[in-house]
Amino acid sequence: MSRADDTASATQLRRLVICGPPNVGKSLLFNCLTGRNATVSNYPGTTVTVSSGRSAQLPEFLISDTPGAYSLQPISEEEHIAREILIGGGLDVVVHVVDAKNLRRMLPMTLELLERRLPVVLVLNMMDEARRYRVSIDTERLGQLLGVPVVATVATTGEGLTDLCCVVRDGLGDPPGMVIAYGREVREAVERHNPDRRGGPVVRGEEIDAALAAMNDPAERGALELAARLDRQALADRILAQCAVFPPVSDGVIGQLLNRATMNMWTAIPIAALVMYFGIYKFVGGFGAGTLVDLIETDLYEKYLTPLLTDWVTRLIPSRVWQDLFVHDYGVLTLGLRYALALILPIVGTFFLMFSILEDSGYLPRLALLLDRVFKKLGLNGRAVIPIVIGFGCGTMATMVTRILETKRERVIATLLLGFAIPCSAQIGVVMAMTAANPQVFLSWLVIVAGVFLIMGLLAARHMPGEPPAFYLEMPPLRLPRLGNVLSKTYSRMHWYFLEILPLFLAASVIIWLGHVTGTFGVLIGWLEPLVRAMGLPQETASALLFGFFRRDYGAAGLFELQRDGALDPRQTLVSVLVITLFLPCIAQFFVMKKERGWKFASLTLAAIFATATVVGVCANYVLMMTGWLSR
C-alpha cells in the first residue's frame, strides 16, 4: 500500500496505543509489530516525538508508541504527552507494557488506566529476566483479578507476540473499569477543592485531577499525589499477593560485584573513564571518525563518487554558477551529501551502535547516577549525561536528544552547554592531531574548555528561572547486550538521523553556495580578520573560523593545514584550538537549536557563544604573550 493510500485510510483504522514506563521494551514491541511501516512525528505543539505505523499482523489498526510514563499524574513533558494521548478518547486498545520482574512498581499505572475505563491489555514483558530471577506470575489469575487480558512476552525473541495479536484481534469488549478505595486523606483533599461533591466512599481519578488543578500550593499538591499513589500501590500489593511471588533479587557473585563496582564512586569513576576511552574515544573517535571515514570518504567518495557526480552535472548543466550548487567545492552533492554520508554518518553510526550497547547492558543509568551530583550544580540531573555524551559524537543530534530531559529549564541549560563547550567527535579528532606533539597544549586546552563548561553551567543554574531538577531513573540489572536489541535500537536511530538531520546538511550546503555567489563570505571574512589579529593569529584563520560555522571539522581542518604548513607556533596552536572549539556551533546544530528552542533563543545563544569565544581567544593570547609560556 502506498503512503497516499495509508493517509487516506488512516481515518478508517482502529487505534492501538502502546504505553508504559521507559526501558521496558515498548519501542522494541512497537518495532516488532510495525517493522519499517512506521513514521515519527512531533506531538502537536511540542518537540516530543510519537511513532505511528501499520502492522501486517493487525492490519485494521493504526499503532502508536507513546513516550515513557510511570503514571497518569505527570511530572515530565513526556508523561504529559502520554497522558494527553491516553485520556484524549478514541482509543480502541491500550497495550500497557511493563517489566515483569518489576511488576509491583508498575501495576499502579495499570490500575489508573482501568480506573479511567480504558480498553487495556496488560503485557508482562522481559519474562526471560523474570524467570531468571525466579519471579512467578499466574497471568490467568492476574487477568481475572484485573478483569483484562494479561499476556507474557519477551519482545527481544518474539515470544508471546502471536498471543498478543490474537487477544487484540478477538476484541476486548467493554472496559470493566476499576474502583480504587482511596483513603480519607485523598477524599478530604478532593472535597476541599470540589464543593459540589456530595461525599461518598468512591473517589474517581477525574476528581483527583480536578483537585490537583485547583491547588496553588505545591506542598498540598504533592501530599495529594503521594497519598493517591500510596493507595494505588496498596491495592496493587493486595492483588499481587494473590497471584505472584517475587523472591529477593540475586545476580550471583559476579553480578553483585559488577553492580557494586559501577555504583561505588571509587570504582565507578575508573570504570566510567575506561568506558569513555575505549567505547567513545577509541571506537567512535578512532574507528568511526578515523578508519571508516577514511574508507568511505577518501577511498569511495573522493575517488569514485565525486568525479562521477561532477562529470554528470557538468555535462547536464553548462553554467558554472549553477554547477557549483550541486558539485565542485561547495555543491549539495559533493559537500552537503558527502559531509552527511561520508563524514558524519560513520561517526554517528558507530556512536549509535556503542550507545545502544551501553543502553542495553543497563550501564547508562549507573553512569547517570554517578554524574547526578555534579550535574545538579549545573542545573541538570544525571539523565543529562545522555545528550552531553552524545554531544561528543554530534552536537546536532545531542540537541535533539535534550527532549528526554524533564523540564524546559533543563533542556535550555543542556542546549546552552552543548553549544558553548562540547566539541563533536569530528572536531575532537582534528584538535587531537593538532595538539598531539605538545601535551602542554592539549592539557591547557582541556582545562580551559572544561572550565568554560562548568562556569556556563553554574551561571545558567543560578540565573535560569525554574525549579531545581528532580532525578528518578529505573535501575535495570546489568546484563549482556542482546544483538537483536542493539541492532533494532541502532536502526531506529539511524532512521531518525536520515529523516531529521540529512536535510539540514543539504540546506547548509545551499547557504554556503549562496555565500560565495553573493560575495557575502568575503565580507564576513573581512569582519573577522581584526578579531583574529587581536588573538595573535594569522589572517588566514578568519576563513577557517567562518567555515567552522558551516562545518565544524572543516574549520578545524583549515587550522590543521595552517599548523602543518608552519603558520602556527605552539602559542597560536593553543589559541586557535580554543577558539575553534568554543566558536559558533555548526549551522546544522543551529537549525536544530532554532527548531527546538525558537529563533530568539538560537540567535541570542549564537551571539553569546561568539562573544565568549572571542574573549577567551584574546585573553588567552594576552596571558601567553605576557608570561612567555609556549613561546618558540
Mean pLDDT of 260-286: 79
Render pLDDT for 547-573 as a digit per residue (tens, 0 to 9): 777 766 667 767 777 777 788 888 888
Q: Say whether both 22 and 135 belong to one domain.
A: yes
Render pLDDT for 448-470 as a digit per residue (tens, 0 to 9): 989 988 999 899 888 887 766 66
Distance CA 261, CA 498 (A): 38
478 CB-near residues (< 8 Å, 6+ apart)? 251, 255, 258, 259, 262, 361, 362, 363, 366
Q: Domain residues for 50? A: 3-170
Q: Say whether both 582 and 452 belong to one domain.
A: no
First to last CA, the chain: 69
Grouping H, G, I as helix, E, B as strand and the rest as coil, residue 245 is strand
pLDDT on residue 243:
94
Least confident window among 48-62, 112-126, 142-156, 475-489: 475-489
Q: Say whether both 230 and 217 belong to one domain.
A: yes
Please state the pTM of the whole predicted model.
Answer: 0.64
What type of residue sits at position 619? Answer: C
Q: Say whether both 224 and 328 belong to one domain.
A: no
Q: Say whether both 333 and 407 belong to one domain.
A: yes
**pLDDT band at 5; cut points 50, 70, 90:** very low
Instruction: Please report, rounded to a whole number, the percentage of residues in the chain having pLDDT higher than 70.
Output: 88
Q: What is the 3-state secondary structure (H, E, C) of 433-472?
A: HHHCCCHHHHHHHHHHHHHHHHHHHHHHHHHCCCCCCCCC
pLDDT on residue 121:
95
Mean pLDDT of 256-277: 80
Residue 177 lies in a domain: no
Give which of 405, 389, 427, 341 is closest to 596, Cα–Cα. 405
Least confident window among 193-202, 417-426, 443-452, 537-546: 193-202
Least confident window among 91-100, 259-268, 492-501: 492-501
Query: Considering the chain, what is the average pLDDT of its residues?
Result: 82
Could you tell me whether strands 61-65 and 136-137 are parallel, antiparallel, or unpaired per DSSP bridges? unpaired
Could you tell me whether strands 14-19 and 61-65 are parallel, antiparallel, or unpaired per DSSP bridges? parallel
Q: Say whether both 39 and 62 belong to one domain.
A: yes
- pLDDT higher than threshold 70 for residue 251: no
* Residues 566, 438 contacting (CB under 8 angstroms): no
pLDDT on residue 111:
94
* Residues 14, 93 contacting (CB under 8 angstroms): yes
* Residues 395, 422 contacting (CB under 8 angstroms): yes
Mean pLDDT of 622-626: 89
CA 8 to chain centroid? 32
Q: By CB neighbour count within 10 A (0-12 exposed, 13-18 middle, 19+ buried), where does 57 fall?
A: middle
- pLDDT higher than threshold 50 for residue 418: yes
Residue 324 lies in a domain: yes
- Helix pair 265-274, 252-263: axis angle to 10 deg: 90
Q: Grid coordinates standing for 524?
A: 564576513
The residue among 502, 536, 567 that closes a domain is 502
**pLDDT band at 140; cut points 50, 70, 90:** very high
Q: Say whether both 335 and 452 belong to one domain.
A: yes
Cα distances from 359 to residues 124, 125, 365, in angstroms, run 21, 17, 8
Give which of 297, 344, 306 is closest to 328, Cα–Cα. 306
CATH number at residue 20: 3.40.50.300
- In the block, cell 525473541 appears at 157
pLDDT on residue 95:
95
Residue 411 lies in a domain: yes
Instruction: Please report, rounded to a whole number, the percentage of residues in the chain having pLDDT higher than 90.
Output: 21
pLDDT on residue 429:
67
Distance CA 454, CA 456 (A): 6
pLDDT on residue 1:
38
- Is the pLDDT higher at 140 or at 174? 140
Render pLDDT for 597-611 as a digit per residue (tens, 0 to 9): 889 999 999 999 989
Q: Which of 21-35, 225-239, 292-306, 366-380 has the highest mean pLDDT?
A: 225-239
Bridge partners of 3? none
Mean pLDDT of 82-90: 88
Residue 57 lies in a domain: yes
The residue among 143, 170, 197 that closes a domain is 170
- Is the pLDDT higher at 445 or at 470? 445
Grouping H, G, I as helix, E, B as strand and the rest as coil, residue 428 is helix
Q: Say whether both 280 and 230 belong to one domain.
A: no
Q: Say whether both 227 and 151 belong to one domain.
A: no
Render pLDDT for 9-51 as a digit per residue (tens, 0 to 9): 445 789 999 999 887 888 888 888 887 555 555 544 454 667 8
Give 522-567 as a DSSP string: HHHHHHHHHHHHHTT--TTHHHHHHHHHH-HHHHHHHHHHHHHTT-
Rg (CA), the chain: 27
pLDDT on residue 3:
40
**pLDDT band at 7; cut points 50, 70, 90:** very low
Query: Domain count of the chain?
Result: 4
**pLDDT band at 94; cut points 50, 70, 90:** very high
Residue 308 lies in a domain: yes
Q: Say whether both 302 and 406 belong to one domain.
A: yes
pLDDT on residue 213:
83
* Residues 422, 397 contacting (CB under 8 angstroms): no
Q: Say whether both 269 and 386 belong to one domain.
A: yes
- In the block, cell 552527511 appears at 340
Mean pLDDT of 310-337: 87
Distance CA 10, CA 8 (A): 6
Mean pLDDT of 301-327: 90
- pLDDT higher than threshold 60 for residue 91: yes
Residue 258 lies in a domain: no
- pLDDT higher than threshold 80 for residue 166: yes
Q: Grid coordinates standing for 625?
A: 604573550
Mean pLDDT of 120-124: 95
pLDDT on residue 438:
79
- pLDDT higher than threshold 50 for residue 8: no
The residue among 487, 502, 517 that closes a domain is 502
Mean pLDDT of 363-374: 79
Cα distances from 485 to residues 155, 216, 279, in angstroms, run 9, 44, 18
Residue 254 lies in a domain: no
pLDDT on residue 410:
86
Residue 31 lies in a domain: yes
Mean pLDDT of 296-315: 88
Q: Say whether both 491 and 522 belong to one domain.
A: no
